[in-house]
Amino acid sequence: MVRLELIVLVALQILLVKSFPADVLIQNADNSEAKAMNEDLDDLINEVPNTENSNRMEETFDNVSEETDQGYESEHNEESFAGVDEDAEREGGEYKEEENLGNSHVIEGDIYVDKSTTNILGALQNGVARDAITNAVRLWPRGRVPYVFGRVSSRVKSAFRQAIAEYNRYSCIRVVPRTSEKDYIYVVSEGGCWSFIGKRGDRQKLSLGRGCEYKGIAVHELMHALGFYHEQSRLDRDNYITIHWNNIKSGRDYNFRKYSHGQADTLNEPYDYGSIMHYPRKAFTRNGKETIVPKRSGVTIGQRRGLSRIDIRQLNKLYKCGDVVVPTRPPTKPAGPCVDESSGCKRWAKARYCVEGRFINYMRKKCKKSCGLCKGTVIPKCFDLKSSCPRWAKSGFCTSKYTTYMNKNCPKSCKKC
């Protein structure tokens, strides 16, 4: 088997060399300098065509710490309070309401309805209330919400507990493990992400199904359970967004209705593009085009990372939390211990991926300990991606027909930065 692999490798080398024009190969092989240049060219030839394997390796790196990334990247940052478009939600805050399209008991993407909820919605359409439902929906006494986990994955539990921490940090709401309470939330994974509105009584389901196991989505569903509808359902929404009805999936336009009257129920807070309760631009699109377009330029909608400042103020007003400090700027995650985020970091560092190759940025972000970047190490802005770059540059390849490749992979040696 080993012999066969060697034969294949030799054959590939011959094919690669033959694929380059003869005028590229260095003549006078007896000359020592020419020999060295031929060796350099050989190395370079072996590098240039090898993009397929390179791309495959890059995919491996991108996927290597998926579970860690999803939990880690979903922490607050500036986007949490500015509004994050659905296209930017790769790190764990994705809009998932359309996962529930096959559920006949779900409206507006993730609101579970029964007979009682249907009666409430009828009242809303007749002008009783809106955003935070102060009369038609029952609130949780003293903001205390007991919960129990059903048969759910560890990722669901982690996402829900991260959401609890968000409420504990920014409100007087306390979501606590159930002891003997009659009314409580029962966290399940029953297909999609959905919740009832407000306290329903007895055991009340909240679903975080497959694809919904993220902190931001758990925060969103808990907001429903605490008594909030979607932001774009506000009576005054037409002053802030435009609904493109022609782009909405057939039979799904009811998801975009707005509720009549109820100025008090907005809790005197302005329209919030950055609310965790807002639909994204392409919610329920039938053709890939936008169904919701903000009238204010430069804003993004549909973030599922965490509570916005206005979300926090509304929540605290609704539950009469009193003097709760609302952040005036995004909270930042305190600096933690210097650790690697993947078990493969040490191995990759030994293979020099910290200092060369296509994965330098990944390594410097996810493998700080193994790359020795924990003690204020200055990361150079100008560096080569290949250890052979100095040799290739000395052989004159920066100005040869390999200029494009060299400029991209050897900017330091070619003095391009």
Question: Given the structure tokens 């998926």, which residue do they identify?
Answer: 66
Distance CA 72, CA 32 (A): 54
Query: Known binder of ligand: residue 230?
Result: yes
The number of CA neighbours under 13 Å toward the Cβ of 163 is 31
d(CA 214, CA 220): 10
Please tell me whether residue 385 adopts helix, strand or coil conformation.
coil
244 is in an annotated binding site: no
Backbone dihedral angles phi then psi of residue 184, each to the nearest 5 degrees: -160, 165
Please state, in angstroms and rounded to a whole number, the distance separating the CA atoms of residues 63 and 361.
14
221 in active site: yes
In terms of Cβ atoms closer than 10 Å to its own Cβ (0-12, 13-18, 19+), residue 74 is buried
CA distance linking residue 415 with residue 417, whole number of Å: 6
224 is in an annotated binding site: yes
Place of tokens 């359309």: 98
Q: DSSP assignment, residue 327? A: P
Residues 293, 241: contact at Cβ < 8 Å?
yes
Identify the active-site residue in 97, 99, 108, 221. Answer: 221
Annotated catalytic residues are 221
Which residue positions form the known binding site for Zn(2+)?
A: 220, 224, 230
